Structure 1
Amino acid sequence: MKELFKNIKEVLFVGSSSVFTLRSISLFAFSFSLLTVHLSNAQQLESLLEEALSNNPEIQKYELQYRIASEKVNEVDVLPNTEFGVGYFVSEPETRTGAQRFKLSARQMVPWFGGITAREQYVSSLADAKYEDIVIAKRKLMASVSQSYYKLYANKKKRVVLDENIALLKTYETLALNAVEVGKASAVAILRLQMRQNELEQLKQVLEQQYLAEQTRFNKLLNRDKGIEVDVVDALEIPIDDQEIHSDNLVLHPELLKYDKLYKSVEQSELLNQKESSPMIGFGLDYINVEKRPGMDFNDNGKDILMPMLSVSIPIFNKKYKSKTKQNALQQQEIHSQKQERLNILETLLDDAVKGRMSARISHETQTKNLRQAKDAEAILVRSYETGTIDFNDVLDVQELQLKFEMNQIESVKDFYIQSTIINYLTQ
C-alpha cells in the first residue's frame, strides 16, 4: 500500500497539475518576480498604447477636424469682396466739358475697427474646443486598449487554470482506476471524473472563441489585422499599495475643459456680434469718361471725371443682433448646466471605480484564502487514499470549488486593473 501511494505521489509530481510541489514552486517564483512582471507589463502595454495612438482612425479623424477648424482662421481673415462696376451711357448726358461715354467704379467695404480680429478670435476659440475632442478621444482609446488587454490576460489565465484542472482530473482518474481495481471505488466515479473533464474542455473551447473575439477588438483598436496574436503578460498580481488618487484633477478633465472653451467661444461670438452691429465704412472711386466737344477749344474740353467716394453702412434695423445677444446669454447658461451635469457624472464614475477597485481587492483576498483552504482539503483527500477511504464525490466537489476560487481570483485581478484604467482616465 505504501509503495502504491509512493507511485501515486510520483504521478502527481510529474503531472503538469501537481497539487503540492509544482504549485508551491510556481507561487513562490511568481511572488518573487512580481516587480519584474509589473515592469515588463507596463513597458509592453505602453508600446501597444503608442501604436494605438499613432494608428487609430478615430484619433486621425479628430485631428483632421481640428486642422480644418484651425484653417478656418485664414478663411475669415479677409475683407468683404471688392465691388467693381462698368456702366455705358446709352443716352449720353451732355456736360460743359463734353458728353459722358462710360463709367468705371470700384468700392471696398471695411468692417468696423476690430471686426476682423473678432472673427479670427471666434473661429480660433472654436478650434480650441475642437482640440479637446482629440485629448478626450486619446484618453478613451488608452482606456479601451488597456481594458481589452486585461480581458485578454484574464481569458488566457483562465485557460491555463483549466488546463491544470483537466490534468488534475486525469490524475484523479488514474487514482480512481487503481481504486476500482482493488475494489475501493465504483466505476461511476471514473465516469463522473470523465464527464467533469468534458465540461472543462467545453469551457476552455468557449474561452478560446471569446479570446479570438476580444483579440479582434484589440487589434482593431490598433488599426491592424485582426489575426495578429497579442503577446499578453503571463502573470499579474494586485499590488500591495493602491496608487494615490488625485481626485482634485477631476475638475481639469478634458471633458470639463471642453465646456470652458465652448463657454469662451460663446463670449467671442458675442464680441463678434457687437462688432457686426457696428457701422461699416466703404471707400470707392468712380471714373467717368468724357468725350471732347467737337468744334470747341478750351482747357477742360473732354476732361474725364474722377470722383473718390466714402460711404457708411449703418444697421438701423438691428433686431437680429439683439436676438443674437440673448441667444448667446442663454447658450452660456446651457453650457454651464451641461458642465455641472458632466462633472456629477464623472464624480460618480470615479467613486464607482474607486469602490470597485477596493471590492476587487477584497474579493481577491477572500478568494486567495478560500483557495488555500481548498488546496488543504484536496491534500487531505489525496492522503486519505492511503487508508482506502477516498471519496471521489468529495474530490470532485473540492476540485470544483478550487476551480471556482481560481477563476474568481483571476476575475478580481482583471476587475482591479480595469477599474484602475477608469481611475487613470478620470484623474491622470
Structure 2
Amino acid sequence: MKQFLTVIFHVIKKSSFTLITFPLQRGLVFSCSLLVFHFSSAQDLQEYINIALENNPEVQQFDTKYKRISERKEAVNTLPNTEFGAGYFLSTPETRTGPQQFKLSVKQMIPFFGTITARENYVSSLADAAYQDMVVVKRKLATSVAQSYYKLYEVRTKQKVVDENIVLLQTYEKLALTSVEVGKASVVDVLRLQIRQNELAQEKEVLEETFVGMQKAFNKLLNQDVNTPISVIDSLPMPTRANNIQANSLKLHPELVKFDKLYTSVAQSELVNQKEKQPMIGFGLDYVNVGKRTDMNVPDNGKDIVMPMLSLSIPIFNKKNNSISKQNKLQQEEILSQKEQRYNALESVLYRAVSDRNASVISYRTQLKNLERAKKAEQILVKSYETGTIDFNDVLAIQELQLKFQMNKITSAVNYYTQSTIINYLTQ
C-alpha cells in the first residue's frame, strides 16, 4: 500500500517556493514545501528536516511498530493446529477380520467461511492506525525542526544587529571625541557612549552563548553530534498581510484520521467476533491397524480400517462473544468522543496560531514604520553636528530606539514563521 504524507511549511502564497520530496521507508513519501530564498543556504532547513526524519529514534520506533503490526497479518492467515493422534491397544479388541493393534488419527478444524479474511482486515485496520501515528510523529518532528531553526535564525540575526549598532556607536564616539577637542561636548558624553558599547558587547556575548546552547539542542533533535555547525539563512521575507485559513482542512489531519482508523478497527474486530460465533468444521481420518486371525481364514483377514471423520464445533455458550460485542460498541462511542475532543483542541490551537500570526504581521509593519522614523531622527542629529549643536543624549536615545525596533522586527518575523509552522502542521 502506498500512502503519502505532505507537511508543507510554505508561508507566503505569492512568494516563490519549491516542493522537495524524498523517499522514506515502506513506500512513504514525505514532502516539505519551504520558501526558497535566493541565496546559497536556502536548502538548509529542508536538509535538516531530512536528517531528522532519518535519524530520529522516535520516528524509527513508530516505523518499527507499524512494521510489527503489519507482520501480524501473516500470523492470522493460518488455520488451527492440525491434530495428530496415536494409540496402542493394550488389550486388543477382536473383530471379525482380526485383532485391532494400534490406531492413528489426524484432524483439521476449519474456521467458518470468511473468518480468516475478517482477521486479516482487522490487522490491516490496526496497521492503518499505527501508520497515522507515524505520520503524526513525522509531522511534529518536521515542525519542531523548523521552529528550532527559526529560533537559531533569530539569535544569529540579532547578533548581526548588535554588531551594526556597536559600529554605529563607535562612529558617534569619534564624533564626540572631536566635539570634546573643540569644546562642544564633554568627556561624560564620550563615557556614556563607551558604556553603551560595553553593554552591547555584553549582549552580543550572551546571544552567542544562547546560540551555542540552542545549536546543541538542535543537533540533538537531529540525533547527530552536538558540536556539528549549523548554518542559518540570512533573511526571512515577510508578506504585507497574512493569508486566510480554512478550519475545514482540520478534518483531514492525521491526528483525527487516526480516530477514524481506530473506529474502523473496532468494526473489523466485531466482524471477527461474529465469525467466531459461527461453528467450525473439522475433517479427519482414523486408521486402525488390524492383525490377521490365526484360528481361521475369513474374507478380508487382517484388513486395516480407514475411517474418514467429519466434526462440528458449535459455540453453545457464547456469553463471551455477546460481551465482546457490547464492549466494541462502547469503544466506538468512546473513540467518537475522543475525536470530537481532539478536534476542538486542534481547532483552538489553529485559531490562536492564526491570531498570533496576524499580530506578527501588524507588529512587523509597525516596527518598520518606527525604524524609518528613527533613522530620520538620526539623520537630523547628524546634520545638527555640522552646525555644532549635536546632543549626545539624544544620540543614545535614538540608538536605543533603533536597536529596540530592529530586535522587535526580527522577533515579529520569527514569530510569523513559527506560527506558520503550526498552521501548516494542522491544515496541510
Q: Which range, TM-score by smaller chain?
A: 0.7 to 0.9
Query: One-letter code of the match for 1:38?
Result: F
SS in 1 for 2:245: coil
- Between the aligned partners of 2:54 and 2:324, the Cα distance in structure 1 is 41
Aligned partner of 1:216 in structure 2 is: 216
| Aligned amino acid, residue 199 of structure 2 | E
| More displaced 10-residue stretch of structure 1: 91-100 or 409-418 | 91-100
Name the SS for the 1:302 alignment partner: coil
Partner Cα separation in structure 2 for residue 192 and residue 277 of structure 1: 89
Counterpart amino acid of residue 247 in structure 1: A
Q: Which amino acid aligns with 1:148?
A: S
Distance (Å, rounded) in 2 between the aligned partners of 1:321 and 1:39: 64
Query: Aligned residue for 1:200?
Result: 200
Question: Which residue does 1:381 correspond to in 2?
Answer: 381
Letter in 2 for 1:139: R
Deviation at 1:43, TM superposition (A): 4.3
Partner deviation per Cα, 1:90-146 (whole Å, 9 max, x = no partner): 222222322222111111111111111111110011011111122212221221121
TM-score of the aligned structures, taking structure 2 as reference length: 0.87
For 2:162 and 2:97, how far apart are their aligned partners in 1?
A: 109
Please name the residue that 2:307 is paired with: 307
What amino acid sits opposite 2:307 in the alignment? M
> Take 1:263 and 1:71, find their aligned partners in 2: how far apart are those partners?
21
In the TM superposition, what whole-angstrom CA distance separates every residue of 1:69-102 from its partner, at most 9, and x where no partner exists? 1111111000000111111122222223222221
Say whether 1:78 aligns with 2:78: yes
Aligned to 1:348: 348
State whether structure 2 residue 290 is matched by structure 1 residue 294: no
* Residue identity in the other structure for 1:67: K
Other-structure match for 1:367: 367
**Contact 2:72–2:123 (CA<8 Å) still a contact in 1?**
yes
Classify 1:39/1:341 alpha carbon distance in 2 versus 1 (closer, same or farther; 3 Å): farther
CA distance in 2, matches of 1:158, 1:294: 110
* Gap runs ≥5 in structure 1: 1-33
In the alignment, the residues of structure 1 paired with residue 348 and residue 103 of structure 2 have an alpha-carbon distance, to the nearest angstrom, of 73
Report the number of matched residues.
Answer: 395
- 1:402 maps to amino acid: Q
Equivalences for residues 120-199 of structure 1 within 5 A:
120-199=120-199
Q: Which residue of 2 aligns with 1:233?
A: 233
Report the AA paired with residue 392 of structure 1: F
**1:67 Cα deviation (Å)?**
1.5
Q: Secondary structure at the match of 1:295?
A: coil
Whole-angstrom CA distance in 1 between matches of 2:88 and 2:209: 83
Residue of structure 1 equivalent to 2:37: 38
Is 1:86–1:103's contact at 8 Å kept on the other side of the alignment?
Answer: yes
Give the structure with the larger strand fraction: 2
SS at match of 2:37: helix
**Quick one: which amino acid aligns to residue 214 of structure 2?**
E
Partner of 1:267: 267
Equivalent in the alignment of 2:320: 320
Please name the residue that 2:416 is paired with. Answer: 416
The one-letter code matched in structure 2 to 1:239 is P
Secondary structure of the residue aligned to 1:306 is: strand
CA RMSD of aligned residues (A): 2.0
Deviating more after overlay: 370-379 vs 240-249: 240-249
Match for residue 64 of structure 1? 64
Residue by residue, what CA displacement relative to the aligned partner does 1:259-290 show, whole Å, maximum 9, x if unpaired? 10110000000000011111111111111112
Q: Deviations over 1:193-214 (max 9, x none)?
A: 2222222112111211221222
Query: Which segment is superposed worse, 199-208 or 153-162?
Result: 199-208
Alpha carbons of structure 1 residues 327 and 337: separation in structure 2 relative to 1, 3 Å: same
The answer on 1:404 being equivalent to 2:404 is yes
TM score, norm. by length of structure 1: 0.87
Per-residue displacement from partner, 1:278-316 (whole Å, max 9, x unpaired)? Answer: 111111111111222223211132222222211111111
Query: Would you say the 8 A contact 2:172–2:193 is kept in 1?
Result: yes
Q: How far apart are the structure 2 equivalents of 1:37 and 1:293?
A: 96
Cα distance in structure 2, aligned partners of 1:237 and 1:265: 46
| Larger CA Rg, structure 1 vs 2 | 1
- Residues 223/112 of structure 1: CA separation in 2 closer, same or farther (3 Å cut): same
1:37: how far off? 6.7
Establish whether residue 335 from structure 1 lines up as the match of residue 338 from structure 2.
Answer: no
Aligned runs of 1:107-118 on 2, under 5 Å? 107-118=107-118
Please give the alpha-carbon distance, in whole angstroms, between the structure 2 residues aligned to 1:369 and 1:55.
44
Measured in 1, the distance between the counterparts of 2:362 and 2:133 equals 36
Question: Tell me, what secondary structure is at the counterpart of 1:38?
Answer: coil
In the alignment, structure 2 segments of 5+ residues that lack a partner are 1-14, 17-34
Deviates more, 1:378-387 or 1:280-289: 378-387
- Could you give the per-residue CA deviations for residues 389-422 of structure 1, whole angstroms, max 9, x where no partner exists? 3332222222111111100000000001111111
Which residue of the partner structure matches residue 393 of structure 1?
Answer: 393
One-letter amino acid of the structure 1 residue matched with residue 156 of structure 2: K
CA distance in 1, matches of 2:382, 2:365: 26
Aligned residue for 1:20?
A: none
Instruction: Report if the CA contact (8 A) 1:37-1:235 is conserved.
Output: no
Cα-to-partner distance string for 1:357-380 (whole Å, 9 max, x where unaligned):
100000001111111122222222
2:125–2:262 Cα contact (<8 Å) kept: yes
Asked if structure 2 preserves the Cα contact closer than 8 Å seen for 1:73 and 1:124, the reply is yes
Of residues 217-226 and 136-145 in structure 1, the stretch that sits farther from structure 2 once superposed is: 217-226
Contact 1:84 1:105 in 2 (8 A): yes
Distance 1:312 1:291 in 2: 32
TM-aligned CA deviation for residue 42 of structure 1: 5.6
Which one has the bigger helix percentage?
1
Q: Which moved more, 1:79-88 or 1:246-255?
A: 246-255
Cα contact 1:287–1:304 (8 A) shared by 2:
yes
SS of equivalent to 1:184: coil
